Structure 1
Amino acid sequence: MAISRPTAILRSLSNPEFLAAGTAVQDLMHPDRVLIGSSPHPRGHRAAGLLADIYAAWVPRARILATNVWSSELSKLVANAMLAQRISSINSISAICEETGADIDEVAAAIGSDARIGDKFLKAGIGFGGSCIKKDVLSLVYLAVSLGLHDVGEYWRQVVMMNEHQRGRFSRRVVRCLDSTLVGKKITFLGVAFKANTSDMRESPMLDILKTLLEEQPREAAIFDPRCHPAVVRREIETFLDAQDADSAAESTIAVT
């Protein structure tokens, strides 16, 4: 541009995407909001307006939000961080439920009926996976620490730590429920992608859980996911275990179908 249009004044816009794996087309055509961040300059506002006109062809104007660049970029990180926070929060309560005899589904339904809280992302499980949520939370941690906000960074770091704790707690419970040993037994994984209706195994909780359970030396670990190609699953598992230096995997047969 500096050569072909040396007199042009370019303005950068921030237009983060909020497309979720498995629902990307739906999210694009019917977004909750469209964020357009621009510099506080007339030319920046004009550029933002031109992009807003493009989105207005199918997105209601009320859902197109104009912000400054920092607000737009930070909103992307915070959206995923808040979802991760809810998941880690309900999973932390599931641990208390198991110790007290409370039913986590009943607790989630009760608090989800509160209009101030809502019922989304209150399903206790093995935690979040995928390549985006953890990355965005850790980016928020890095930003906070780099700004000298160490307590803020530690707060968000705990969201990731609770997520990892939940995976370990789940694995330990599996072993405990099977008479505290997996030696000579066959375990089965139904689903390996990090999210339903996708074939994406990036940061899948299943990988960490598989590694932990293989350390208990089961006879066989059988793995199946109708959305994932067996050859890809096997390659991903081998790459992950090699990176983790999981020698115990050699003691068990891993069957991918």
Structure 2
Amino acid sequence: MPVGFGGSCFQKDVLSLVYLCETLNLSKVANYFLGIVEINNYQRRRFADLIISEMFNTVTDKKIALFGFAFKKNTADTRESSAIHIGKHLLDERAHLCVYDPKVPEQNIKHELGLVTSKDIVTKYVDVFKSPYEACKNAHSIVIVTEWDEFKDLDYGKLYAVMKKPASVFDGRLLVDQKKLKEIGFRVFSIGTAKTQSLNLFP
């Protein structure tokens, strides 16, 4: 399962099924469909916890380049985007988010995050960039949340060069070539793969 589904329709439709089943006294079926939403929320939290644990159990004041904010590629729609929920968890830990999305405007990103945390926190800890290379300057990690095709073809060697070391990539959409990125020097963590990797400070 990727880092979580979003959008305005799927979760609403699932919750409608929950309501319908409850009105028909089909409690087990209702619980089954409710579990889909709960697992989706759990997956987002689990991914955020992975980021924190693999960044030495703290992201406070660390820069994290968040790649993607739309709920899926080829849209500027952010409704129920996993980026909002993951961003909130990281902001709760006082990470500094450096966000890049090719279509979502800066005001939308900050507005959505302001709904799940305080506007003061967004002002202090969230910056939005028009280039992934700018977003990665002095960042400690890259977190891929939206499956934009361009994220497959970025010059990760160039990104690695401007990041803090050790630099990590957390791939929530199974987009990147793990072997290639590890050869560059990244620590790479992808959904569905082993959680912990040994840290090599002298690649």
Relative to the length of structure 2, the TM-score reads 0.60
Match of 1:240 among 93, 112, 116: 116
- Indicate the residue corresponding to 1:162 in structure 2: 39
Shift of 1:239: 2.9
Structure 2 vs 1, CA of residues 239 and 129 (structure 1 numbering), >3 Å: closer, same or farther?
same
Q: Deviations over 1:230-253 (max 9, x none)?
A: 1222222223325xxx88x36952
CA distance in 2, matches of 1:172, 1:239: 21
The one-letter code of the counterpart of 1:227 is: K
Name the one with the larger helix percent.
Answer: 1
Match of 1:190 among 52, 67, 70: 67
The reply to whether residue 230 of structure 1 matches residue 102 of structure 2 is no
Shift of 1:213: 0.7
CA distance in 2, matches of 1:130, 1:184: 30
CA distance in 1, matches of 2:81, 2:35: 19
- Indicate the residue corresponding to 1:253 in structure 2: 125
List aligned pairs for 1:79-98, cutoff 5 A: none
| Runs of 4+, deviation exceeding 2 Å | 239-242, 249-252
The one-letter code of the counterpart of 2:128 is: V
- Indicate the residue corresponding to 2:27 in structure 1: 150
Give identity over the alignment, percent: 38
CA distance in 2, matches of 1:138, 1:239: 22
3-state SS in 1 of match to 2:61: coil
3-state SS in 2 of match to 1:187: strand
Shift of 1:229: 1.4
List aligned pairs for 1:1-257, cutoff 5 A: 124-218=1-95, 220-242=96-118, 249=121, 252-257=124-129
CA distance in 1, matches of 2:34, 2:5: 14
3-state SS in 1 of match to 2:117: helix
Gaps (5+ residues) in structure 1?
A: 1-123
The one-letter code of the counterpart of 1:151 is: K
CA distance in 1, matches of 2:98, 2:25: 47
Q: Is the 8 A contact 1:187 1:221 kept in 2?
A: yes
3-state SS in 2 of match to 1:221: strand
Q: Is the 8 A contact 2:6 2:82 kept in 1?
A: yes
Relative to the length of structure 1, the TM-score reads 0.47
Return the structure number with greater relative CO, CA threshold 8 A, min gap 6.
2
- Indicate the residue corresponding to 1:121 in structure 2: none
The one-letter code of the counterpart of 2:36 is: V
Q: Is the 8 A contact 2:114 2:122 kept in 1?
A: no
